[in-house]
Structure 1
Amino acid sequence: MTHSSPDVNLSPALPTELFSQALADEVFVQCTLSKRRSASDVEYRKVTARLVAIKEQTAVQLTYHFQKKETHENLSEPEAAARLGDLLQTEFEHGHLFTANCDYVVRARADGSYKVKRHAPTKQPSVQLHDREKQYLIPEGTACPFLVEIGVMTADGAVRAAKRKKFRQINRYLEIVNDIVEHLPRDRRLRVIDFGCGKSYLTFALHHLLTVIHDFDVEITGLDREPSVIATCQRVAEKLHCRGLRFETGNIDRFADEEKVDLSVSLHACDTATDDAIAQSVRWKAEVILAVPCCQHEFATSIQNQELRALTAHGILKERFAAVATDAFRATALGICDYATSVVEFIDMEHTAKNVLLRAVKQPVNQARRTALIAEYRTLKQLLSIERPHLERVLPELAERVAE
């Protein structure tokens, strides 16, 4: 049988201390503020609070409940205690604090003090581990050889604090690739080209996904124009005995391998180098094309439509608009060339502003759909006063299909 404690009177400042103490003692479970004060003009009907774990840190998430929506705010524990105390003093009359030891029911009095009743606990702690709940393709806690070699993990599988963003980026990339694995051939050796591989974190990650997780027989070529970078990557590949992985020095637009490529990857190839990679991939009839564009300058100096002046009058807005327009052209062009194309978020904006990935899977497009895509493409050209994008110049198949 549950027994309540006698009423306790609290001064106006003490609700904040009550919340602070529960958080400091690590017994805080949940809190609800309700019954708006007659003088309150806030639109939300109640506020709830719970613990969440974000980026290895515990925070308090406040949820503001409106009539038809909810908004969220993540605060540190001291900030949350102060905010909850303030809301209870100014906006709400009722508070219900759940802790591991007991429940507190708080009621505001007319004189500014509070009446508090304490009950047996009805809830147990259950921190919502936003980041830790995620099941990564490369899990934390088990050493992954290439991540250890490049310094993202320690030898016992712990992710280094300074490399946690890189760890999440790598796993996010693998999730995107994992979604298209079913479109890759299994009846022969899988050929992959990674244009502009750079230091090759993601090239090694791709090799791990395809060979260790999915057991493909692969031939992966990492291509970059910087000899010293390529030499380093090749040394790492040999040290780790990465079967089917090699690195070569070369430019995207000069790579003349005539054999069919099944998966083409170009991550952060600058400006029209992305178009060169896409064009070569289409010529290969690659089963899947993955591209993360970077530095899309081509249209920035070409857009002339005065009706779009509000979008182009300011340098930073024009640059962003031009980047979006460029990727819209590319996605539409890939559709015209028989690729089912989606535009997905690569990684969170906090890591890099270049967070758009074009994911294209070889798939015949019926004539009606192609006609519609061609019309959209032509409309874009006319609207932006773009005569002939670089992708058209390097990809005759596209130029022929969109010709007037």
Structure 2
Amino acid sequence: MKKSASKPASQNKEGLTGEKHDIRPGQSLELLKELHILTRDGRLNQDSRRKLKQVYHLYQFIEPLLNTLQEDHTDICLVDHGAGKSYLGFILYDLFFKAGQTTSKAHIYGIETRDELVQKSAELAQRLDFPGMSFLNLSVADSITSRELPEQVDMVTALHACDTATDDAIQFALKKKARFMVLVPCCQAEVAAELRKNKGDAVRHNPLSEMWRHPIHTREFGSQITNVLRCLQLEAHGYQVRVTELVGWEHSMKNELIIAEYKGLPAKRPAERLAEVLKTTGLESLQRRFFVTP
């Protein structure tokens, strides 16, 4: 009698061979396929496994913050700036918000300037039955005054929002009195341009200007000092700031993660330091961007 072929012992219900441990329990496989983290036949290749590792690594930083918010109220409002295809928003909703969507008014807003991505994200949220997700075709700067967003939000995320868009996300979060910010800055060009422009008179007697005398150092120092200024600005508004590295994002030079929590901390000293750094580096023209008072 011919024996029927048996399934491999490592194959699970979803058809994933030897890969069950890579995907969190309860994770929507349809979502992972739509985000091209899983192949259409439900498998992980080397590239998609790397993407999944990155997403989960970032989620490990954000989940405790969401738990803290949930202890206070369940109707959490999160705004994701420069959302792109909304990878982050969908993963957060699927892993954290989905379970309570029938009883909670928690909401994630994805802000993106490319209308085709906004439309696709909205269609995907409807297809997955994620009612607590909305997508708006706005720039980060325009979202600050948009009436389509609530007066107050709990958390603001900005994953690789280019150049000054990260600063706009910070301004948005400050105006909306966000308790948490999670930022992965990208492409800081504005400060480097100002450093080049003011390299002469403003820093002639400052020996530390050697740190950005050469063009390649100007670019690198510009990127570094931009994030230093952002951290001082956040501290000057009463936030506690933690800066760390996104492990597993080695393919990208932009892997610095800034996490800020509003604590109402003393703001005078960081505000003074912010002003001193701007003056010492010849960047006083950027005071309106790295503002201390709104």
What amino acid is the match of 2:214?
A: H
Distance in structure 2 (CA, Å) of the matches to 1:348 and 1:378: 35
In the TM superposition, residue 147 of structure 1 has moved relative to its aligned partner by: 0.9
1:172, 1:347 within 8 Å by CA — same for their partners in 2?
A: yes
Indicate which of 258, 264, 270 corresponds to 2:156.
264
Match of 1:204 in 2: 90
Match of 1:178 in 2: 63
Gaps of 5+ in 2: 1-17
2:239, 2:262 within 8 Å by CA — same for their partners in 1?
A: yes
Distance in structure 1 (CA, Å) of the matches to 2:68 and 2:265: 16
RMSD over equivalenced CA pairs, Å: 2.6
2:37, 2:44 within 8 Å by CA — same for their partners in 1?
A: yes
Distance in structure 1 (CA, Å) of the matches to 2:264 and 2:27: 41
Match of 2:47 in 1: 162
2:133 matched to 1:245? yes
Q: More deviation in 298-307 or 240-249?
A: 298-307
Match of 1:338 in 2: 238
1:143, 1:158 within 8 Å by CA — same for their partners in 2?
A: no
2:282 matched to 1:385? yes
In the TM superposition, residue 298 of structure 1 has moved relative to its aligned partner by: 1.6
- Within 5 Å, give how 1:3-402 maps onto structure 2: 138-139=23-24, 144-154=29-39, 158-185=43-70, 186-212=72-98, 217-255=105-143, 256=146, 257-303=149-195, 304=199, 305-306=203-204, 307-366=207-266, 370-389=267-286, 392-393=287-288, 398-399=292-293
Tell me which of the two structures has the higher relative contact order, counting C-alpha pairs closer than 8 angstroms and 6 or more residues apart: 2
After superposition, the C-alpha distances for 1:254-301 in whole angstroms (9 at most, x for unaligned) are: 112342111111111111111111011111101111111111112112
Number of aligned pairs? 260
Distance in structure 2 (CA, Å) of the matches to 1:362 and 1:316: 35
Q: Which has the larger radius of gyration?
A: 1
Gaps of 5+ in 1: 1-131
The percent identity for this pair of structures is 27
2:229, 2:290 within 8 Å by CA — same for their partners in 1?
A: no
1:141, 1:157 within 8 Å by CA — same for their partners in 2?
A: no
Q: Which has the higher strand share?
A: 1
In the TM superposition, residue 197 of structure 1 has moved relative to its aligned partner by: 0.2
1:219, 1:245 within 8 Å by CA — same for their partners in 2?
A: yes
After superposition, the C-alpha distances for 1:175-210 in whole angstroms (9 at most, x for unaligned) are: 110131233144342111111100111121121232
Q: Which has the higher helix share?
A: 2
Give the structure-2-normalised TM-score: 0.79
In the TM superposition, residue 144 of structure 1 has moved relative to its aligned partner by: 3.2
In the TM superposition, residue 314 of structure 1 has moved relative to its aligned partner by: 2.8
